[in-house]
Amino acid sequence: MLQKSLNDETRTESLKKAVGLLENAQSILILAHKSPDGDTVGSSFALCRALLKLGKKARVVCSDTIPAKFSYFTNGLDFENSEPDLIVASDVASVNLLGDKLSCYADKIGLCIDHHPSNSVNAGYSFVDPSAAATCEITAELVYLLKVDIDKNIANCIYTGIATDTGCFRYSNTTPKTLRTAADMIEKGADSAVINKKLFETVSHERLEFEKLALQTLELHFDGKVALIVLTKEMSQKTGVDEADTEGIPSIPARIEGVEAGITVKEKDDGVYKISLRTGSTLNASDICANFGGGGHAAAAGCTIEGTLDEVKQKILQAVKDELDKQRMKGKEEWTA
């Protein structure tokens, strides 16, 4: 059962049902998604810590290692192995995202807590609220309803998840409720300044070197309306950058003033390139990528194109140009109508 657009009353009832499941369980296993980010890890550990404070057994598992930058989540935690009577998936939009190690739990999830509109997990009970900027925003409500006093550790977990999924309150998913939940967490002791610095202000030297090489490939096309960068395997090897550490690079070309489409062409295998496309309000990235069997959202989409680098660049540039021309024609028609 998904709660996609509920009125406040129904929403509270649904949340209370989730709380009831947690209250009735004695040993809870919480699943975070693979390639863990601040929201899945933050929401999992916040819930885990709250349940431990209620005297229950609880632990968090993840297919992949929790990144070192989130080490503060586990401060002072020492998990005990026990047979769970409730399995909770936190911020897991699909069972495919459980990863190899946790795939065995795919059909055993008793409670699913998430904010992704595409959530497809088949759980005993699901609370999915796409109006929440982060799963942690929902977790904060759950912890309040569980009547657990939020301590510094829980506050750090929840703050981290919210900051992660909103780009530190920059993205359009940030609502008044998001900001107020973050304010509450700072009041409960969250080290917001330290977390912000670690997550948003610190880059590895390898990442910076990789970015430098990426910027050297920057091309502007069609009167500066389209910007394109290329990321090659050679750049990764040369700089020694970690794959996870290249996050956010595809948003660079789209950030340039006047650019309506930012294209990142990333070399995968010989003759295979992954395209990331970011667009402004005039172009639909998903439609353009659909030409190559890809897809995504209106403002951010992707696809795979085969060929030499030059061929691939020409193909995606032509597809973007066609769409720009279409938009211009549409504008002209409206003008002359």
Contact residues for a second copy, defined by CB under 8 A: 168-172, 174-180, 182-184, 186-187, 192-193, 196-197, 200-205, 208, 211-212, 215-216, 218, 220, 224, 251-252, 255-258
For a second copy, the closer of residues 177 and 321 by Cβ is 177
Nearest approach in angstroms of CB 168 to a second copy is 5
Bridge partners (DSSP) listed for residue 61: 31
For a second copy, the closer of residues 251 and 291 by Cβ is 251
For a second copy, the closer of residues 98 and 158 by Cβ is 158
Nearest approach in angstroms of CB 299 to a second copy is 11
Q: Is the dihedral of CA 74, 112, 181, 298 positive or negative?
A: positive
CA distance 205 to 21: 46
CA angle, corner 287, sides to 283 and 291, nearest 5?
125
Report the chain's terminal Cα–Cα distance, integer Å: 47
For a second copy, the closer of residues 69 and 147 by Cβ is 69
CA distances from 311 to 51, 185, 314 (A): 55, 51, 5
For 27, half-sphere exposure in the C-beta direction (CA atoms, 13 angstrom radius) is 7
Closest CA to 48 of 71, 32, 70: 32
CA 251 to chain centroid: 14
Closest CA to 274 of 316, 244, 236, 242: 316
For a second copy, the closer of residues 112 and 249 by Cβ is 249
CA distance 185 to 42: 13
Nearest approach in angstroms of CB 258 to a second copy is 8
Residue 129, Cβ density class (10 Å: 0-12 exposed, 13-18 middle, ≥19 buried): buried
Nearest approach in angstroms of CB 97 to a second copy is 27
For a second copy, the closer of residues 26 and 204 by Cβ is 204
Is residue 31 within 8 A of residue 59, CB to CB? The reply is no
For a second copy, the closer of residues 26 and 171 by Cβ is 171
Nearest approach in angstroms of CB 138 to a second copy is 18
For a second copy, the closer of residues 119 and 166 by Cβ is 166
CA distance 188 to 84: 30
Task: Extract the tokens encoding 313.
Answer: 């660049």
Element (H, E) at 264: strand 261-267
Nearest approach in angstroms of CB 149 to a second copy is 17
Nearest approach in angstroms of CB 66 to a second copy is 18
Nearest approach in angstroms of CB 268 to a second copy is 25
